[in-house]
Amino acid sequence: MQEFKIFIITFIVVYLIYLVTVILRNKKKNRFEESVEIRYLEKVYKINVKRLNMKSLSHTIALSNSFIISLTLSIISFVELFILKMLVGFVVLIILELLIYHIIGKYYQGKKRGDNGV
């Protein structure tokens, strides 16, 4: 139960920080459109982000990043050795990023097809 509390607290804190520092600030919106996450979705999944609702996409990415960080932290809390924590954390982080961004990419590809009527 303690790990679940850590997960929820971490998720909320990371999401709120991302929300305040990136999504709600107008100055950061231009940087967000050029971020690594957006470029990854454009290149790998051929998504034209100019046609998407940027606010919806930014919240989706914020939620996914919060989930990735929180789950990684929760998983490495079970490991005792520091070096092993670093290794497990790195592997889990990479796997979760690829998996979650694959889901996001496929979702927005399907949404693009639905908008075009194909």
Q: Going residue by residue through the chain (118 aa), what tens digit of pLDDT does each one get?
A: 888 998 999 999 999 998 888 878 776 677 778 889 999 999 999 998 888 888 899 999 999 999 999 999 999 999 999 999 999 999 999 999 999 999 999 999 987 666 654 4
**CA neighbours within 13 Å on the CB side: how many for 7?**
13
**Six-digit token string for 49:** 């982000």
Locate the domains of the chain by residue range. 2-116
**d(C-alpha 70, C-alpha 10), whole Å:** 5
Residues in the chain: 118
CB 10 within 8 A of CB 74: yes
